[in-house]
Chain A
């Protein structure tokens, strides 16, 4: 299982904070497609534009920002944990 947690605006959009997907060796993009299928909510269009992560959304795989990994092509494995959130930028 791959566990994905959503926070703030995305948690409200999905009306759930966490989902588990039965998958292994799959890209973050393909994983989010599976989340959309399972939740029947278009999470893809909320966080992705032209197969790129929308600016302002942070995806962490096991605590690491995918921006510093392989971005949407980052491969996740059974047992991995993802956290997805739009950080607050105001002070």
Chain B
């Protein structure tokens, strides 16, 4: 049986083939990045580009599901690549140990990708990531704190940019965060990435807010 036979029973061979031919850049391999990556690999994505310059610390282990105690001190992107290839050895994964400090850090990456996933932990880098978005690409943004978070899809000329939506942000050093928040939000981000790859994004000009405390989900209309 094919690894993806249960996926195919739901969405069919054509959509499975779309995923196999698709490539996604994941910026930030923290809690959201790990969950997004594992979801996409198990869904059948063909190629991932992982970008992060951090090493794994003990405080990451409550929520960064690709890492274990034996990984402490190792590179996040290299460790994530090894774990993801254990799930599916046939996919292509690029590990880039770099911090996003300018748009060039993304635009000069010498490979193509269909979309970008914003799993970063600061808005300055998130805005630079958005600036590097090409017209034929999409960006799925996710941010989390405590037991809540938000997701949206950005496309040049169709939606507002992250800077337009989130100006007046405040970056916090190591905000509170629990595993169920990043795993839930990361899985919903993976769904929206797949929606984009299938040509049916659900969060264009909409900001989805998820609050786990009482299982609330809200969609805010964002005007272009």
Contacts and interface: CB of A to CB of B under 8 A. Distances in A.
Contacts, number: 101
A89 B211 contact: no
Contact of B166 (A5, A8, A58, A63): A58
Interface string A6-41: 011101100001000000000000000000000000
| Majority-rule SS of A interface residues | mixed
Given A5-B218, A88-B150, A90-B175, A65 B167 contact: yes
B14 interface: no
Nearest to B27: A91
Given A7-B218, A89-B175, A91-B31, A56 B168 contact: yes
Interface in B164-184: 164-172, 175, 177
A8 B28 contact: no
A53 B123 contact: no
A68 B165 CA distance: 9
A68 B168 CA distance: 10
Contacts of B146: 8-9, 88
| Majority-rule SS of B interface residues | mixed
Contact of B142 (A11, A68, A91): A91
B168 A63 contact: no
A60 B220 contact: yes
A2 to B, nearest CB: 16
A90 B143 contact: yes
B168 A57 contact: yes
A68 B222 CA distance: 14
A80 interface: no
B218 A55 contact: no
Given A67-B167, A88-B150, A83 B144 contact: no
Contact of B144 (A53, A57, A67, A88): A88
5 contacts: A7-B148, A65-B166, A88-B148, A89-B172, A91-B33
Interface of A: 5, 7-9, 11-12, 17, 53, 55-58, 60, 62-65, 67-68, 83, 85-91
